[in-house]
Amino acid sequence: MADYTIETKAAFTVLGIGTVLTGGFPEMGQQKTAFWQKVNSAHALDHLAGLNDYPFAVNEAINGEFHYYAGREVAADTAAGADQRLIAFPAGKYLVITAAAPDQMGLYNTLEGAAFGEILPQLADYAYVGGPNTSCLTGTDGNGVHGKMLVPLVEK
């Protein structure tokens, strides 16, 4: 099982560049990979002035559509530009998962798999009831990349 904690987090905001995902989960995974390849090759995150340099991947369901964003954490009063979205994460309890992987997409896939496939189904006192969730890459070393995932929770 992945390393995780339940933590109380302050509210935070991510400024994202997004896409809409379609199809089943295998297709969505391929679309996420293609999206990040496009974002990274265009150095799109370099144009977002964030509070740190961590690349965030955000999943959000809006009106029955699955939206996916690449972004940076920003101040809550930041203005979104054209083709950008401010994604607000409320203060409260979060499932926080840490992991490492050989590359960026491997990290995001590892974190999402652990959250939704292993940890959330077995939590006795908390539940995820929707809202955006995010993964961020927090560092690199000779073994690959490291990061964390934040999933908002409510008490059961």
- At 44, list the tokens: 């799109």
Q: How far is CA 66 from CA 78, 85, 110, in A?
A: 24, 14, 19
What is the distance between the alpha carbons of residues 25 and 18, in angstroms, rounded to a whole number?
17
How much is the pLDDT for 25? 82
**pLDDT cut 90: percent of the chain above it:** 90
How much is the pLDDT for 24? 86
**Non-local CB neighbours of 150 within 8 Å, separated by 6+ positions:** 9, 89, 94, 95, 96, 133, 134, 135, 136
Confidence (pTM) = 0.94
What number is the average pLDDT over the span 22-43? 93
How much is the pLDDT for 32? 96
The answer on pLDDT for 1 being more than 80 is: no
What is the distance between the alpha carbons of residues 13 and 50, in angstroms, rounded to a whole number?
10
Are residues 107 and 147 in contact, defined by beta-carbon separation less than 8 angstroms?
yes
Where in the chain are the domains?
3-155
Query: 3-155, which class in CATH?
Result: alpha beta
Are residues 136 and 24 in contact, defined by beta-carbon separation less than 8 angstroms?
no
